[in-house]
Structure 1
Amino acid sequence: MLVVTDLVRRFGDLTAVDGVSFRIAPGETYGLLGPNGAGKTTTISMIAGLVAADAGTVTVAGQPMGPSRTEVKRHIGLVPQDLAIYPELTGRENLTFFGRLQGLRGKELGSRIDTVLDLVGLADRAKDATKEYSGGMKRRLNIGIGLLHRPTLLILDEPTVGVDPQSRNAILESVEALSVEGMAVLYTTHYMEEAERLCDRIAIVDSGRFQAEGTRDELIRLVGGVDRIRLSGGGSVAAAAEALAALPAVVHVDADRREIVLTVRDAPAAVAAVVNGATDAGMSLSGVEITRPNLESVFLHLTGKALRD
């Protein structure tokens, strides 16, 4: 559905996007994960034909994209960071206006508006002026506008910024439903948990470049892909550490008088054997803590800084 090849965009001496390449298949949700200023918005602006690339190509549904390619843009639904709604109009009136811009009319337009209002959870507020909406409701309407014309590629640029937790969850649930329907989704975020929840594949972006790309598990393997189990307590700690070192899932053991830290493969599967082994060896447990590597760990490993720096 989308093929991006060696994309470059410069602003004076700043190279905002530096040789980016990736593909998205129908039904796939692809995430661009990186801090503010990483080049995510510039990348999607070129993909949507809003900004010309200095080098590289973008193909949408097999057709080359550029600022003058109006017909190709019909394949895309763009949901920008900045709200693109009219505050004096109701939710339904906003959808009607943007639907007509996309060439929808009559019963087809009415049917699509009803469908979209249900999807984004605004059917009960459709007759209210959008200036009365909460920030989260406005974001959800913004997504609905992008969906009206049944795009084959939906681009969502930081759609949950500044919204309350309830609205954020509603947005994420809406996005999850889209890939099930076969729509390709390009999702930019600096929230690790959103990328982990939504995206089939993720590109870690920093300073205009892709630092790594893959599924969550593939990216986790870049930092070793191992978990940690921390046991705290008393009793025969040294004997427990010796016994646990013999377990097949255990890679490494560190211990002191009150604590054992195990590096293990697949901690959720191994924790029962670890707890049983420790207690059988005479350790009295007061706490068990599992730590698993996440995308924040990968970002820190690749760039040397935290995701939100």
Structure 2
Amino acid sequence: MQVLSESQWRPRAAAHAARIDAFVAPHLTRRAEQVKHPVHDFLFTYYSHRPAQLRRWHPGFGVALAGAEEHTGLKGYTSLGLDTLGPIAARPAAVTVSAGFVESQLPLLRRLHVLLTATAGRAPQLACFGLHEWAMVHRSAEHGTRHDWPLRLGQDGTDAVVESHRIGCSHFDAFRFFTPTARPLNTLQPGRDDRPDFEQPGCLHAGMDLYKHAFRLSPMVASDLVADCFELARDIRELDMRAAPYDLADLGFEPVRIETAEGKAAYVEAQRGFAERGAPLRARLVAECERLLGVVPSPV
């Protein structure tokens, strides 16, 4: 057990909060003004991790924080006895994520380990061209739209793009938002319970979901990993919406025109870059799952 003094951990916590505030503060301002942003608000509205949770710094399992009264009572934390820390004169009381909490999270750790290793073991598929967003508004005159923004090609042009392309979406949480008329057009039929059979590292949504996997492991993993995954997800979301059928010019986003050869090439290049950025983060999450799974001995 490593014990960090207040002079060691408080600067790290402050630096983490400052890093996150660059993203959180504009969102909170928009929320107070009741202004929606389809790109930058997504990570705060689609995912369940609240801004305050994202700002809070955790060192991860195996590290104790001295003098961290604000962590007392947080999910997963326990106080260490003074006999554990050494002489009273040498060390103040400290808190840390408990082994009991890690044990309670074994089902989650096992599921994520299976999903992440299966995804990492596949070659990235880079020819989806972001058509999942188009399939979500196929024949939206009948089904309604997901965002209050105009379609860049109009409804007929948008439908024509969907119907003239091969759609191969492998991510259930994107596929489940396809309109009823678009669902049969997908060459794959991923389900809620078979994600390890479909997830692949070129998928933008699989890349964004690294953030979800990281915060679900909090506070067992260090907040630096959560923040790294958040920043990747935020950048991916920009490409996701720039390649979508919406006209976001008023927000300053130049479209990636995936209906053209040039746009397809640009999308694939950016998608490859995100797959490369996501690979080491996925590997870190796999390593953390394995570390934490080793905390509790397997039953004989």
Q: What TM-score does the superposition give when structure 2 sets the normalisation length? A: 0.23
User: Which one has a bigger Cα radius of gyration?
Assistant: 1
Q: Which has the higher helix share?
A: 2
Normalized per residue, the structure richer in strand is 1
